[in-house]
Amino acid sequence: MSSSSVALTIILGIVAIGSFVGFYAGRKHRLNLEEWAVAGRGFGVVLVWLLMAGEIFTTFSLLGISGWIYAKGGPTLYTLAYLTLSQVIGFFLQPAIWEVGRRFGLQTQPDFFAQRYGSKLLAAAVAFLDIFFLIIYLQLQLTGLGIIVEVASFGQIAPAPAMTAAAVIIAGFVYTSGVRGVAWVAIIKDILLVFAALVVGIGLPYIHFGGIGRMFAALAAAKPGHMVMPGATPNLGHSWYVSAVLLSALGTCWPHTFGSIFTAKSADTLRRNTIVMPLYVLALGLIVVAGCAAILIVPQLKNGDLALLTAVRQTFPPWFLGVLGGAGALTAMVPAAIMILTASTLFAKNIYRPLVAPALSDDQVAKVARIVIAGTTAVALGLALHSSTTLVALLLTAYAGIGQFFPGLVLGLCWKRVTTFGIFAGLVAGIGLAGYLILTHRDPIGGLNAGFVALLVNFTFAVMGSLATPRQRSGFE
């Protein structure tokens, strides 16, 4: 068999196994809304860990980090810091979110806002914005999957058909198995991703340079300023680094993260999960090392997102490229699946039912959500097929927006004086400012991440707006 045939066969085999598991996982469970969205709130530490790792460690982890290290250098290290800090924040917030979810039967992030602030309009606005930012993040996964399959198959499969086929498969097992199918596919994905990270993170430096230390010495000699701030960028210095870490760490407000929190069987399950989750960052550190090696192995690539796969293709046998390609495909499919499921549930439960058909039962909402899967998937696929934005740019844009929900979350849990008007005012100010700064290319602004600046404005408006309006009773009392 030719090299391309070997790699392609392994990729297709891994994707086929993952797809089978995804379809099989839900066969013994009746997919009512509770089972569909939060798996009956019965997941233990292992399944919660795998589900949340599947959400956090995505195509961006494999290609985006290595691509930005290749192209930008030192500023990329913000990713390792924020992923660890986010678990520290999650240790305190996730059990509190789970507790109110258990008490009031919450299934989505807008459910939290509706219960706490007593406003269907605020919940619907949150749902609309959630879906918008989920589509951006979903676009990232499909774009990365297309790159992975094209390079790993030696160009035998173009990005467009790869993305299309994957989107159909993902939509299929989400439709049949709900969140349970996503969690079981994550088992295969995580095993393969850790294995691939170990091989490329250690193998590339040793094969080409005789060790990791020697590789960094060669990189420092060839590009002395690449791994320090601002790296190969003109303006991503230390202030940007700190503000980007804080914004991204506070982005524990992703709507699919809420769904994963509600799948846990206890608050202690979530605490244990946040303690062990940072261990996964060690695997990402190896991806960073591999990206650094790629700078010297395959210099002058125009697209940094191709760096890791190109270096691997030149170094390792075809079978390993197939394993990496298959792992990368599942690394895109797992988070894409939970995002499709979440976006569809948000539309059906928090937009369609309260605003259009309030008489719908939970079973009918679940049916609507499953119908909406096709539309959600089609929109994200269309954007992925017609966009050339880099993976990191997509991620930073999504986090700049989703981080604006943090004031409503933390103030809702910790401050009885916060009001619906204050949260609305802060959300409008934060989203509006973040969008303006990013769309007008003013990111960073004053050396700071634009999303973080918008978050500070958001907090200010939320607090001042709450103090300026009459106190209201919390829905959690």
Has residue 427 been placed in a domain?
Answer: no
**Domain limits at 333?**
3-389
**202: number of Cβ within 10 Å:** 15
CA 165 – CA 160 distance, rounded (Å)? 9
Has residue 250 been placed in a domain?
Answer: yes
- How confident is the model at residue 391, as a pLDDT? 63
- How confident is the model at residue 412, as a pLDDT? 95
- How confident is the model at residue 74, as a pLDDT? 93
- Total domains in the chain come to 1
- How confident is the model at residue 421, as a pLDDT? 96
The DSSP code sequence of 204-260 is HHHHHHSSHHHHHHHHHHHSTTTTSTTTTSSS--HHHHHHHHHHHHT-TT-HHHHHH
Has residue 460 been placed in a domain?
Answer: no
- How confident is the model at residue 112, as a pLDDT? 95
- How confident is the model at residue 29, as a pLDDT? 58
Has residue 472 been placed in a domain?
Answer: no
Which residues contact residue 125 at a Cβ distance below 8 angstroms, ignoring those fewer than 6 apart?
A: 424, 427
336-377 pLDDT, tens digit per residue, is 888 888 899 899 999 999 888 888 888 888 888 888 988 888
- How confident is the model at residue 392, as a pLDDT? 64
CA 289 – CA 268 distance, rounded (Å)? 34
Has residue 154 been placed in a domain?
Answer: yes
Has residue 406 been placed in a domain?
Answer: no
Amino acid at 407: P
CB-based contact 115:104 (threshold 8 Å)? yes
Has residue 474 been placed in a domain?
Answer: no
CA 28 – CA 177 distance, rounded (Å)? 9
CATH number of the domain that residue 88 is part of: 1.20.1730.10
Q: Enumerate residue ranges in the chain where pLDDT < 50.
A: none
**Which one-letter DSSP state was computed for residue 474?**
-
Has residue 252 been placed in a domain?
Answer: yes
- How confident is the model at residue 336, as a pLDDT? 84
**Angle, alpha carbons 327-333-339 (nearest 5°):** 145
Burial status of residue 100 (CB atoms within 10 A of its CB: 0-12, 13-18, 19 or more): middle
- How confident is the model at residue 27, as a pLDDT? 64
The SS3 of residue 137 is helix
Residue holding tokens 């119908």?
371
- How confident is the model at residue 388, as a pLDDT? 62
